[in-house]
Structure 1
Amino acid sequence: MSALVHEALMYEGLDEFLEGTSAFVNEGLAAGETVVVAVPEPRLTALRDRLDGPTEHLGFMDMAELGRNPARIIPTLRNVLDANPGRRLRWVGEPVWPGRRPCENVEGERHEALLNVAFADVPVSILCPYDVGGLDPTVLVGAQRTHPVLHASGRRWDSVLYGDPSTVAQAAAHPLDPVPPTADERRVDHDLYGLRLFVRDRASAAGLDGARLDDLLLAANEAAANTLLHGGGRGVLRIWRDDDDVLCEIADGGRLDDPLAGRRAPDTAQAGGRGLWLMNQLCDLVEIRPTTQGLTVRLHMGLEPAVEQVA
């Protein structure tokens, strides 16, 4: 078996989902591999019941929590690998499911492409279920672009649309939605205290409070600090509400060449390098895009807390 196996399971209905994922899981358990299932409810409980629950080498995660920000998934896989040295990892991960917003679907597709970059030479088998009856056709095309092998109804075939992972994941190929004219704006300079007060005032007025407000403030502060250190020393912060999200973005003159930046746990011996990592851990979604002027980092924080993770 090659180092990385990355397949998309194209399923229609719960029975096809259970049939395809349980066969994949049981194959891994029989081979003595570490197996983790990360899918959203209600499929998580249905598959747990089908497999008789967790065992020593079989674990479950609620993807609605873990994958709310898809950038958290790759470091979670890495943590599982590090906790089980010498064992192949078999991962069932459903980062895109019906009901996700277009911006989340885009980051899900980029995540799928980056899996091929992050684990190209690592002993991991990954099966990613896609609900063909509930997802937009553009999402299904994205699955074919990011998975070299497709799987449905017990058969496998090579994806003719599979593309170079680095090209598919390029942020520049996925432009951000425009900032609304009603967004509040402030320059980014060395007055980080004033910037935090500005974000707190606008985010509170939009309905964000408690720990989630504190998390957005910390993430915005990290983004602004990156502007001062790496983005030319100045930029522009914009903040607005979009439905049930508060969005805060910082545009500056920086660059980011590493597609996996923010998807690796920071080195504890290193003084810096934690900004993007913290933003991904704190926010429900982080979109990073190059522009003709530099770089834009857009932070999303929902007004409602994320669901509790199933153990």
Structure 2
Amino acid sequence: MSHGSTLGSICGPVTGGSGADGIRHEAFLYQGDAGFLSATRDFVLAGLAVDEAVLVAVTQPRIRQLRAALGRAAQRVSFLDMAELGRNPARVIPAWQDFLDLGVERGRLVRGIGEPTWLARSGPERRESMLHEALLNEAFAAPPAWRLRCLYDVGQIGPALVDEIWRTHPAVVEGGLGRISSRYRPPGSAVASPGPDPLAEALPDLGVPRVEFAFGPRDLGHVRAEVIRVALAWGLGAERTGEFELAVHEVATNSVHHGGGHGAVRLWTDDACLICEVRDGGRLYDRLAGRRRPDLSLGGGRGLWLVNQLCDLVQLRSTRVGTTVRMYMYV
């Protein structure tokens, strides 16, 4: 089934559906090692040929493969390990912003390559990766102009994820041809998106929690104590328990100050991770909350940023009836 109109061969620029003053955000569907190099090597060399700053954020095995293919040209490319940077996808937009700001400071155009998901990703991580892809279009809708190519190995993703790729990218390269996506809607579009708002979707049911309780302004100490108790009993370790305690405290404090004065906490554990959910009746209107580096000269706005730095994964959803934040810490 076709999802858009053909732009042409990948030899030319894929420009359809994205503005000239902000991000040119495209997906590249490939398969296997040869497909990966087809999606990356010439794209990187084309940027270097016109003295663009180039950042590649993929997993370490892919970094080694591309370095070898680029040869000496790899010395002019910046690389980041996406398995480390993007473990929590909410950390990725600030990394692109930092690189873009550096390019502007040095008077250079910027292009990047990112691989948001791969086979080893958990279901929640894949879900947040696609939310990240949608929010990229909002975070970089304004100047300066730059180009980002997002890679997806079709041998490692299912049909549902492919559909989301077409909804979150203005242009998609598939089978060697670039296409404008008919399913994509730019930020602020008057035309309704063909899919649900990912920030308003319900999070999956995790079953009966190990711990569940309500809290109010006088109960923040109890929230912290319960998190510490469960985390240490589960075997998280003192340092990581302290980080998790701080993250949960930040979210619970936000609930007291901005979420109606009270909320509810639920905790789950399994062999792989510890999960804490904080839910309240408030609504979050800043869709990029926690994904912008905070201004240290201002007194607030750092809570969700800190939570994203401390936790291995964070899921945030907000609707008219309330806001839910799930925080994950892995073994």
Same fold (TM over 0.5): yes
> How far apart are the structure 1 equivalents of 2:210 and 2:187?
34
Q: 1:173 to 1:194 in 2, by over 3 A?
A: closer
1:8 aligns with 2:24: no
Pairwise CA distance, 1:209: 1.4
Unaligned 5+ segments in structure 2 are 1-14
Partner residue, 2:225:
197
Amino acid at match of 1:197: A
Preserved contact between residue 141 and residue 187 of structure 2 (Cα < 8 Å): no
For residues 91 and 127 of structure 1, what CA distance do their matches in structure 2 show?
Answer: 6
3-state SS in 2 of match to 1:44: helix
| Number of the residue aligned with 2:124 | 103
Output the aligned Cα RMSD.
Answer: 2.0
Alignment partner, residue 177 of structure 1: 204
Quote the Cα distance in structure 2 between the aligned partners of 1:55 and 1:279: 34
- Tell me how far apart the structure 1 counterparts of residues 98 and 40 of structure 2 sit (CA, whole Å): 22
**Contact 1:40/1:63 (<8 A) preserved:** yes
Alignment CA distance shift 1:13-1:55 (3 Å): closer
Change (3 A) 1:258 1:251: same
Structure 1 residue 27: Cα displacement: 0.9
CA deviation map 1:142-189 (0-9, x unaligned): 111111111145431212322345756834543101242243013223
1:141 to 163, 185, 188: 163
Residue 119 in structure 1 maps to residue 119 in structure 2: no
Out of 87, 95, 106, the position equivalent to 2:108 is 87
Query: Matches of 1:95 and 1:228 in 2, distance apart?
Result: 34
Question: Quick check: 1:37 aligned with 2:59?
Answer: no
Is the counterpart of residue 21 in structure 1 residue 40 in structure 2? yes
Inter-partner Cα distance in structure 1 for 2:237 and 2:269 = 14
Q: Which residue of 1 aligns with 2:95?
A: 76
1:184-238 deviation per Cα after TM superposition (whole angstroms, max 9, x unaligned): 0132233323321110111222221143222211100100110111011111111
1:307 corresponds to: none
| Matched residue, 2:247 | 219
Asked if 1 retains the 8 angstrom alpha-carbon contact of 2:67 and 2:74, the reply is no
Q: Distance in 2 between matches of 1:172 and 1:265?
A: 20
Aligned to 2:236: 208
> Contact 1:110 / 1:169 at 8 angstroms: preserved in 2?
no
Q: Which runs of 5+ in 1 are unaligned?
A: 304-311
Of stretches 277-286 and 291-300 in structure 1, the one that deviates more from structure 2 is: 291-300
Of 45-54 and 245-254, more deviation after overlay is shown by: 45-54
Name the count of aligned residue pairs. 303
1:29–1:173 Cα change, 3 Å: same
- Helix, strand or coil for the counterpart of 2:324? strand
User: 2:60 is paired with a residue of what secondary structure?
Assistant: coil
Matched residues in 2 for 1:147 and 1:265: separation?
A: 24
